[in-house]
Structure 1
Amino acid sequence: MSSGVHVIGGGAVTPVGLNGPQTCAGIRARAVRIEEVFRTAPFGKPQAVARVPAHWTLRRTPVGWLVNLAARAVAEISARHGLDARRTALVAIPPEPFRQAGFDDPAAFASFGWAIAARTRLPFRDIRDVAQGGAASTIAGLRQAAALLASDGIDHVIVGGADSYVIDEEYVRLDAAGRLRTEGTAQGLTPGEGAAFVLLARERPGDTAMSLEILGTGDALEPQSATSSEYSQGRALVAALRAAASAAGLAEAAIDWVVSNGNGERYASWEALLARARYYRTRRERLIVHYPALSVGEIGAASGPLALLMSAHGFARGYRPGSVAMIELASEGEGRAACVVRAARRRDGS
C-alpha cells in the first residue's frame, strides 16, 4: 500500500459510546458496560455481554441490527465532515464467512455495503464489500480505499465494519469450544457488538485535529487459528508485523506503542505473547499495548477500524508516546494483519 493515505476522522457505535468521540473517551477512561442476559440454549443460563444500549425494536433481526449500527456510524462521519457522498466511496467489512450462518439472513452479507448505504440514504460514488470479513480484513479494506482514492472523482473513502457476538448461536458455538467467558471459564472472550468506520483521504486537511498517515500494511494466514485443534505459534502475526514495518520503511525499534484487538481469550493471549517476544526485540522499559476489547468486548469486524480510531485519538489527545504506532489485528479464523501508522503533523510542525 502506498503512503500518503490519511485517516482524518471516524465514527463508531459501541457499548461505551454512541458516536466516535464518546467511544474513544469511554475506552480511554476504561469504562466497561457489561450486562447479564439470559440464553435460550440452555434456557435461562446467564451470560455476560457488552451490549449497545438500544430500543428492542432496532434489534428485530441480527443482520438488520448490524446495518443499523453501521449506518449510524457512517452517517456520523458524513455529517461531521460535510462530505459530498457523490465524491465518496464506502467499503464495508462484514463478519467472517464461517460465522455468517449464525445470523438470520447470511445471504444479506453479499450486499452489506449496499444495505448500509440504503439505510443512510447517501448516494455514494462507489460501494464495495470486503469478502473475507473479520478484523484482519481491515487491511484489505484499506488497500481498496487506496486504490479508490487514486481514481478520478473520489475524494474520500469510508472504511469499516459492524459485527456482533451477542447472539445465541455464537454463545453455543464458543461455549462448546471452551472459549466463552463464563463462571467456569475465566480466560474466555466477552461477546460484544458494535460498528466502527474511519474516513480516509489522500491529503490531510490543514484544520483537522485527528489525522494518521498509514505508512505500511501487512497480512498473513495462520493455519493454527482459534478454530483449529492446535495453538498458534504466532508465525503469521510476526510475518504481518514484519511486512507492515518493511512497507513503512521502519525498523522495529521505531514502534512507540501498540493497539491490539486481543480479546482476553486464552488462545489470543498465547499467540500474542509468542509473536511479540519474537518481533519486538529492542530493549524497552515497557511496551505499551492498548486493548479496546477490555471496554467493548469482542466486536469482530469492527475491531480493526476501532483500533485505528483509538490510535488517532491517542496521538491527537497526547496521551500516548511518540508518533508511530503498530496496529495488530487477529481474526477468529486464519487472518492476521498489521498496520503501521504515524501521527500526521501540520506544515508548521504542530
Structure 2
Amino acid sequence: MSGAAATMTANVAASTALRVLAIGAVTPVGGDARSTAAAVRAGLCGFREHAYMIDTAGEPMRVAQVAAMDAGLDGAARLVVLLAPALDEALAGAGGRIARLGVAVALPPPRPGGAQEAAGAVRALCEERLGGRLGPFQVFASGHAGGFEALDQARSWLRGGQVEAVIVAGVDSYLAPQTLEWLEAEDQLHGAGPLNNAWGFIPGEAAGALLLARDGATPGSPPASRPWAEVLAVGLGHESKLNKSGEVCIGEGLTQALRRALDEVPAAGVIDNVVCDMNGEAYRADEYGFSGLRVRDRLRDPTDFAAPADCWGDVGAAGLPLHLLLAASACRKGYAKGPLTLLWGSSDGGERGAAVIRAEVSERA
C-alpha cells in the first residue's frame, strides 16, 4: 500500500473504527488467544478420534475436540464451558474500568443435537460475570455468519452511545452424537463410510470473544497496550441457493456481503490478507471462487487466503472472533502481508458476513 493510501485508510479508521481491546479464545489447538494463534501459525492440527462415535465404515469419527472437555457433556452446558474462559480472557482487558458493557453472541443454528437452551445459558453466564455492568444482550443463532451479525450490532450500540464497550463472542460445538450422525446422513462428515463425503469437513468446537470500544472513546483508564486491531467495516448478505439445495451457487450472497464491507473502505485501500471459514466443502470453495473474482480489484491476491479449519476443524459460530485473532496476531508478529484483512463467513441457512480490519504490522526481529 502506498503512503498516501495508508494515510487515507488510517484517517478513516480514526473516525469510524472500533478498537479491539482484548481477545479471548478456546480452541482444539489452544486454551487461550495467544497459544491458539501460535499453534495455527505453526500448523498444528487438533484432529482426533471421537471417544465413542463410530461412522458407517466402522471407524471412529474424526473430530477436533477442545482438550480436557468431557466427551459426554452436551447441549447448552458444553457451550457454556467452552465460552466461559474465552469470555473471562476478553473481560480481563476491561478490568473494572468499564461501567456498562453490551454483549452480542453468535450461536449455532437449530439442528439435530443442538442446544435448545443455549441463549438462556449464555445470558446467565454473562450476568454471573458482569452483574450490574451488563447492558444490552442479544444472540444471533445463525452459525458461521452469526459473528458478523453480532459485530454489526455491536457497532450500532457503540456508535449510538448505548454502552461504553461491547463483548462480541461466538461459541459452537458439532460434537453432540445426534449432530455427528446428522452430518454423516447429510453427506457432510469427512471420513471413509459410504454416507461420508471425501469433501466433507472435520466437526470442531471452539469459543472466541472480543472486547470492543468505539475509537476515540476512553472507557475509564486507557488500556495498558495498543489495541489488537481496528474494525473498519462490516457487511451482511443473504444467499438463496443453499448448500445441499441442488441449485448452483454463484456466490451472490457472499458477494453482497463482501461489497458492502469493502465499500466502507477507501478504494485505495487494497486488502492484503483474507481469513475465512472454508472447511473443505466444494460448495464453499465454489462460492468464494465466484465472489473473489467479482471483488478481485480490491484484493491483493484473491487466491491467497487462510482457512484455519485445517487446524481446528469447522468451528461454526465461533469463527469471526477467532479469525480476527489470527489476522491481528499475524500483524503483531510481523508476518502479515499488510495491515488490511478481509474476514468472511458463510452460514448453511444463507446468512453471509464480511468485515475489514486494520492492524499495524510490526517489524520482524
TM-score, normalization by structure 1: 0.88
5 Å-filtered alignment, 1:1-40, equals 3-37=16-50, 38-39=52-53
AA partner of residue 337 (structure 1) = G
Equivalent runs, 1:225-236 vs 2, <5 Å = 225-236=242-253
Q: Which residue of 2 aligns with 1:194?
A: 206
Paired AA for residue 34 in structure 1: F
Alignment partner, residue 64 of structure 2: 50
What's the Cα RMSD here? 2.7
Please give the alpha-carbon distance, in whole angstroms, between the structure 1 residues aligned to 2:134 and 2:128.
16
**Aligned 1:1-350 pairs, distance under 5 A:** 3-37=16-50, 38-39=52-53, 45-56=59-70, 59-84=72-97, 86-96=99-109, 98-99=110-111, 101-103=112-114, 105-106=115-116, 108-118=117-127, 120=129, 122-151=131-160, 154-183=163-192, 185-203=197-215, 205=222, 207-250=224-267, 254-281=270-297, 287-343=303-359
With over 3 angstroms needed to count, the CA separation of the structure-2 counterparts of 1:178 and 1:232, relative to structure 1, is same
Given that 1:93 and 1:301 are in contact with CA atoms closer than 8 Å, whether structure 2 keeps it comes out as: yes
2:264 alignment partner, SS class: helix
Could you tell me which amino acid in structure 2 is paired with residue 21 of structure 1?
R
Counterpart Cα distance in 2 of 1:151 and 1:292: 34
Contact kept, 8 Å, 2:331 with 2:361, in 1: the verdict is: no
C-alpha deviations, 1:249-292, integer Å up to 9, x for none? 335x6111101111111211121222212221479577431112
Cα deviations across residues 200-223 of structure 1 (Å, max 9, x unaligned)? 011375752443221111111111
Which sections of structure 1, spanning at least 5 residues, go unmatched?
Answer: none
Counting aligned pairs with the same residue, the percent is 32
Distance 2:77 2:54 in 1: 20
On the 8 A contact 2:343/2:354 being kept in 1, the answer is yes
- Contact kept in structure 2, 1:327 and 1:338, CA below 8 Å: yes
Q: Is the CA contact 2:254–2:291 (under 8 Å) kept in the aligned structure 1?
A: yes
Partner of 2:3: none
The unaligned stretches of length 5 or more in structure 2 are: 1-12, 217-221
- Residues in 2 aligned to 1:124 and 1:199: alpha-carbon distance in whole angstroms: 14
SS in 2 for 1:289: coil
Count of residues in Structure 1 that have an aligned counterpart in Structure 2: 340
Q: TM-score, normalised by structure 2?
A: 0.84
CA deviations on 1:167-191 (whole Å, 9 max, x unpaired) are 2222222212222100253211100
Is the 8 Å Cα contact of residues 92 and 112 (structure 1) preserved in structure 2?
no
Cα gap change, 1:165/1:79 in structure 2, threshold over 3 Å: closer, same or farther?
Answer: same
Task: Name the amino acid aligned to 1:13.
Answer: V
